[in-house]
């Protein structure tokens, strides 16, 4: 039996603007077709992940 393949994720930096929480950022990213989103860093930039 072959091991399950893991999909690699690539980050799309800061193009989504500022965010206040991970939930709102995740909603915006998934609505735009990305896998997920998360607030990141001191400046609270919304970062989206996509499959590479």
Q: DSSP for 1-52? A: -PPPPPPPEEEE-STT-B-S-HHHHHHHHHHTT-SEEEEETTTTEEEEEEE-
The predicted model gives 10-26 an average pLDDT of: 80
Full-model pTM: 0.70
Tens of pLDDT along 19-39?
888 999 999 899 989 999 999
Per-residue pLDDT at 23? 92
Q: What residues does each domain of the chain span? A: 9-51
Higher pLDDT residue, 16 or 39? 39
Tens of pLDDT along 38-52?
998 888 889 999 888
Q: Which architecture does CATH list for 9-51?
A: 2-Layer Sandwich (3.30)
């Amino acid at each position: 039996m072959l091991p399950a393949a893991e999909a690699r994720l690539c980050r799309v930096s800061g193009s989504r603007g500022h965010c206040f929480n991970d939930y709102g950022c995740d909603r915006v990213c998934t609505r735009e077709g990305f896998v997920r989103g998360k607030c990141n860093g001191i400046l609270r930039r919304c970062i989206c992940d996509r499959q590479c």
